[in-house]
Chains A and B, each alone.
Chain A
Amino acid sequence: MFKKILVANRGEIAVRVIRACRELGIPAVAVYSTVDRDGVHVEIADEAVCIGEPPPLESYLNIPKILQVAKDRGCDAIHPGYGFLAENPAFAKACEDASITFIGPTSEGIRLLGNKVESRELMGAHGIPLIPGMMSTSSNNRTIAKEADKIGFPVLIKAAAGGGGKGMRVVHHRKDLQPALEAARRESKAAFADDTVYLEKYLEEPRHVEFQILADHHGNVIHLNERECSIQRRHQKIVEETPSTALSDALRQRMGETAVNVATIAGYRNAGTVEFLLDKDKKFYFLEVNTRIQVEHPVTECTTGVDLVVQQILIAAGEELALRQEDIKARGHAMECRIYAEDPSQGFLPSSGPLLLVHEPVGPGIRVDSGIRTGMTVSVHYDPILSKLICWGENRAAVCRRMLEALDNYIILGVETIIPFLKDVVRHEEFRKGNTTTAFIPRFLTPWFPQMPDDGELATQALAAAGLWKHLQTPANHVGVQNQMPSPWQTLGSWQIGSSG
């Protein structure tokens, strides 16, 4: 097993990984940029090292610096989390060259699966179902136009190196193809330094269903069922759940077997996710493999009871999977809401600034993977994900009820969050019916404005509370439960015991 692990990330995922390391008895080294000095991941790690200025290239993407810290601190493994360097083959290669274990697949594995066209070609050759489209990229826009006619509109332009919706364009009419191609190439060039694109048939209102896999170095590959991730805005997921309301047991089994085949064909080693699109006729198509721990991994953990980060570390250390396919038994239903610091009434514009108050929900079946605390500042430099709220319950209806109650008890004051929007998603009739497709948000919740039920009455109460709160800050007005004399515990401020602040 590893002696010490460096966690090359920040925020909630760094916290999640550091906890797993410590549970395994492995000391964890956190790295941080100068704005993250008071980060939760820095607080809970065994060691913490500042690696540079806030811009990611100077800190969380600074490969030489991170490797140097790993060497200096005697780390024999690096966990990349998600985002940043998680799917960067150059980083995995640099770790390999430095004889430090990259907790993930090999650099070659990342490179192969990271190239959408190459992985499409490989999977197609092995009979994995693919979305109809081009099997290679082209720099010639006239060739692409011919291909578009062959595939039939609407088509989807995708960047070969793409991800996160960048370099992606839907084209419904032939006349819009050329400008869309140029825009997609520009965007892809800027984001990935690569302007090669290809075309796929655009599926209308598909579901995004992905399968969690675990693959060890001994040829064992298992899947841990699906996650339904169709609730997206700007091609980014915000609500995920398992099981999917769209899958029968038979379909689940077929898709799960296909996911295992994909991992086997690619020679994949690590925890990973095989993404599929599922169309209206329940036909599924391979999309891509994510070679990292996913943001939404906790829903799988809640229903299967398997700690995916621990499994990922064990696999990287060369251990054989102790779990066999028949051991994977999912129970109940789990759902995740991503808590982003964004203003949903302003087109999900990121919101930054100090977190004046954070109060997180607790209770049966509630899990909060959080990277925030009262007093921290949400920086403009990074992804605005603050935390994830995950609820488990015996069935989907119970989970929706639990999620709404938990969202009501998730108090974040100081920055805008998408919590009010998430409540509207979870309480929506179509969502409750399980009609979760990628068209859900555009169709039902765009544009979105906060609901103002009974606004006047509630606003009056809020104003009364504001005045009361201020009034009660004067000691003479605040007669405590026992007496008026403050005990030392009360005057110690932030060391106050039993404070729920």
Chain B
Amino acid sequence: MSHYQYLKDGEPVDVIVDGKDRHFRVQVGGQEISLEAQRLSDHLLSVSANGKQKRVFVVGSGARTYVSIEGRIFVFDNAAQVFNNRGSGRGVATASGAITSPMPGNLIKVLVKEGDSVSEGQPLVIVEAMKMENEIRSPSEGIVKTIRYAVGDLVAAGVPIVELETEET
């Protein structure tokens, strides 16, 4: 499973891809799509959904991803690579020090308590999405101020789960 975040017109959109070979399940901003896809060359994909096939050109330039589909060009800013295959990655911290889940899912484990000191990269909670466990790690050093959800809760994308007190806040 891979998890990426892109900015579309300035708004973050989470894209979660699961699968290999030809069959993939992709979640785009919470909407799940089942696809068949094949990489034909470095920048050319053949993507089929519901029996309709499309040729898609994709290229990345570090900060941006360019996609050409049906004669239209989309340019997305690469916000973050949140998870890639390891089922773990960094949580997304908002300016106020709130840690959010990058995708909607089920909170299955809370690994810290309020008042704990945490280091950068330390796992805070585990969110299950698309039958995969994803560790949400601390983006920086700090003290856990509030934990807003409990195990078993459904969390939405972008909603604060843990609030962190960092040096800056």
Contacts and interface: CB of A to CB of B under 8 A. Distances in A.
Interface of A: 354, 356-357, 359, 407-408, 411, 413-414, 420, 423, 458-472, 474, 476-479, 481, 496, 499-501
The 7 A-B pairs of least Cβ separation, nearest first, read A467-B15, A469-B58, A408-B71, A471-B17, A413-B66, A462-B74, A479-B21
18 contacts: A356-B59, A357-B43, A407-B71, A413-B59, A414-B61, A461-B49, A461-B69, A463-B15, A464-B17, A464-B28, A466-B4, A466-B67, A468-B37, A468-B47, A469-B39, A470-B4, A470-B60, A476-B85
B94 interface: no
B8 A463 contact: yes
Interface in B56-107: 56-61, 65-74, 76, 81, 84-85
B35 interface: yes
B71 A460 contact: no
A467 B17 contact: yes
B168 interface: no
A467 B4 contact: yes
Given A356-B59, A413-B59, A501 B41 contact: yes
A460 B31 contact: yes
B113 interface: no
Contacts of A466: 4, 6, 15, 58, 65, 67, 74, 76
B10 to A, nearest CB: 13
B86 to A, nearest CB: 11
B13 interface: yes
A464 B58 contact: no
A472 B26 CA distance: 13
Main secondary structure of the interface of A (DSSP, over half): helix
Contacts of B20: 476-479
Contact of A467 (B2, B38, B40): B2
B65 A464 contact: no
A357 B66 contact: yes
A471 B56 CA distance: 15
Interface of B: 2, 4, 6, 8, 13, 15-17, 19-22, 24, 26, 28-29, 31, 33, 35, 37-45, 47, 49, 54, 56-61, 65-74, 76, 81, 84-85
Contacts of B39: 469, 472, 478
Contacts of B43: 357, 469, 501
A462 B68 CA distance: 8
Nearest to B22: A479
A193 to B, nearest CB: 41
Contacts of A499: 41-42
Given A465-B67, A466-B67, A414 B57 contact: no
Contacts of B65: 466, 469-470
A458 B70 contact: yes
Given A459-B8, A470-B2, A413 B57 contact: yes
B31 A471 contact: no
Given A407-B71, A474-B84, A477-B20, A461 B54 contact: yes
Nearest to A417: B73
Nearest to B44: A500
Contacts of B8: 459, 463
Max chain B C-beta neighbours (<10 A), residue from A458, A460, A464: A464
A458 B8 CA distance: 13
Given A357-B57, A466-B65, A467-B17, A423 B71 contact: yes
Contacts of B69: 458, 461-462, 465
A464 B72 contact: no
A467 B67 contact: no
Nearest to A464: B26
